[in-house]
């Protein structure tokens, strides 16, 4: 089994310090593990002995054996067709660009599967399912729609859910009510947005838990986030792709739906009843047509 699979399959329970090493390795795999113990410890924010114990926990006798296994994976990858994806970009005359772009998106999705420790995903679901907490969703200029997507679904599954949007003044005003009862789900991808970072930092200072969605270079919000979910954003376009981030968001929604199935049923039924009374959607006149949520 590849080391990356051991880091993400959930078979090993990692401590909080070990999860810092996991995130560092997955953010730049496998290069992050090919430097010295001291370098990996410094970049992950842990001690040297913690890195050595981490290698032992993965089943290696020491850090050199861990690195040897990583190097073997590098050699295997160099001979794989997958490694050529970014190097063999065809011109529009050579290949249907639409199909090529979709293949690149599939590759990004496959990479995102290998970048996220299962513990982090479950921690994000736990935070969303905490019925004693108030949920807030925030994003930046381009990622704000992801916060809206998360909010649109979560408000159907549970109460006390808000989307922080509008003018900067309106957003800042919402900080007045944030405290230990609150969880902020925040999206921040390169180039990281100052107002998003400042809002999240202030929310954390007031006691709110932060669940961060970010890229492999990691937003500064990760320094004080409770949970960090990374996804690749590189693609064949000069604009970063949000496809993996959307997949992560929908995975969280699906897991939360399963977790809250019993509690949410009566809420959704009541919501549907109210919608029918107001003829919100076309199917209010034709019950045979499925509602678009």
Residue-level pLDDT, tens digit, the chain, 293 residues: 789 888 988 889 999 999 999 988 988 888 889 999 999 999 999 999 999 999 999 999 999 999 999 988 777 655 444 444 444 455 555 468 888 889 899 999 998 888 888 899 999 999 999 999 999 999 999 999 999 999 999 999 999 999 999 999 999 999 999 999 999 999 999 889 999 999 999 999 999 999 999 998 889 999 999 999 999 998 888 889 999 999 999 999 999 999 999 889 999 999 989 988 888 888 766 655 555 56
The answer to whether position 17 is within a domain reads yes
The CATH code of the domain that includes 231 is: 3.40.50.10490
pLDDT of residue 258: 96
State the Cα–Cα distance between residues 224 and 221, nearest whole angstrom.
Answer: 6
Q: What pLDDT is attached to residue 79?
A: 45
Look at residue 107 and tell me if it is in a domain.
no
- In this structure, what CATH number is given to the domain that contains residue 63? 1.10.10.10
Long-range contacts of the stretch 171-180 (C-beta < 8 A, 24+): 171/138, 171/195, 171/199, 172/199, 174/136, 175/199, 175/202, 175/203, 175/206, 178/136, 178/203, 178/206, 178/207, 178/208, 179/206, 179/207, 179/208, 180/207, 180/208
Residue 288 lies in a domain: no
Residue 279 lies in a domain: no
Domain check: are 65 and 190 in the same one?
no
Q: Which of 55, 79, 103 is the last residue of a domain?
A: 79
Domain that residue 219 falls in:
118-259
Together in a domain, 14 and 71: yes
Residues 124 and 35 in one domain: no
Q: What is the pLDDT of residue 92?
A: 52
Using the structure block, give the residue that is written with the tokens 């329970």: 13
Domain assignment present for 93: no
Q: Are 205 and 134 found together in one domain?
A: yes
Pair (147, 196) in one structural domain:
yes
Q: What is the pLDDT of residue 30?
A: 84
In terms of domains, do 133 and 217 share one? yes
CA distance 112 to 85: 16
Same domain for 136 and 29?
no
Report how many helices (DSSP H) and strands (DSSP E) the chain contains, helices first: 12, 5
Buried/exposed code over 64-78 (b: 16+ C-beta within 10 A; e: otherwise): eebbebbeeeeeeee
23 shares its domain with 135: no
Q: Are residues 31 and 141 in the same domain?
A: no
Q: How far separated are the first and last CA of the chain, in Å rounded?
A: 41
| Domain match, 59 and 143 both | no
Classified as helix, coil or strand, 153 is helix
pLDDT of residue 138: 98
User: How many CA atoms lie within 13 Å of 67's alpha carbon, on the beta-carbon side?
Assistant: 13
Overall domain count for the chain: 2
**Shared domain check, 158 and 255:** yes
**pLDDT score, position 235:** 86
Give the SS3 label for residue 44.
helix
Q: Is residue 268 part of a domain?
A: no
Q: Are residues 137 and 249 in the same domain?
A: yes
Let me know if residue 154 belongs to a domain: yes
The torsion region of residue 88 among left (phi > 0), alpha (psi -120 to 50) and beta comes to beta
């Amino acid at each position: 089994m590849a080391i990356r699979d051991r880091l993400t399959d959930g078979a090993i329970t990692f401590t909080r310090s070990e999860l810092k090493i996991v995130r560092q390795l997955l953010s730049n795999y496998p290069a992050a593990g090919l430097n010295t113990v001291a370098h990996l410890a410094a970049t992950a924010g842990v001690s040297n002995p913690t890195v050595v114990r981490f290698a032992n926990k993965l089943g290696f006798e020491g850090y050199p054996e861990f690195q040897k296994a990583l190097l073997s994976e590098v050699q295997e990858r160099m001979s794989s067709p997958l490694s050529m994806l970014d190097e063999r970009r065809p011109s529009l005359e050579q290949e249907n660009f639409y199909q090529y772009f979709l293949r690149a998106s599939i590759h990004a999705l496959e990479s995102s599967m290998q970048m996220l420790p299962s513990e982090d995903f479950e921690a994000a679901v736990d935070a969303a399912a905490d019925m004693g907490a108030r949920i807030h969703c925030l994003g930046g200029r381009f990622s704000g729609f992801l916060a809206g997507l998360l909010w649109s679904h979560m408000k159907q599954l549970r109460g006390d859910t808000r989307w922080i949007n509008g003018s900067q003044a309106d957003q800042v005003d919402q900080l007045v009510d944030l405290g230990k009862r609150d969880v902020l789900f925040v999206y921040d991808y390169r180039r990281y947005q100052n107002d998003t970072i400042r809002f999240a930092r202030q929310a954390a200072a007031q006691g709110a838990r932060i669940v961060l969605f970010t890229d492999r270079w990691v937003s500064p919000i990760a320094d004080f986030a409770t949970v960090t979910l990374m996804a690749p954003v590189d693609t064949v376009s000069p604009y970063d792709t949000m496809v993996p981030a959307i997949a992560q968001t929908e995975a969280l929604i699906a897991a939360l739906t399963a977790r809250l199935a019993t509690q949410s049923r009566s809420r959704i039924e009541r919501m549907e009843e109210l919608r029918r009374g107001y003829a919100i959607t076309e199917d209010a006149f034709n019950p045979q047509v499925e509602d678009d949520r």
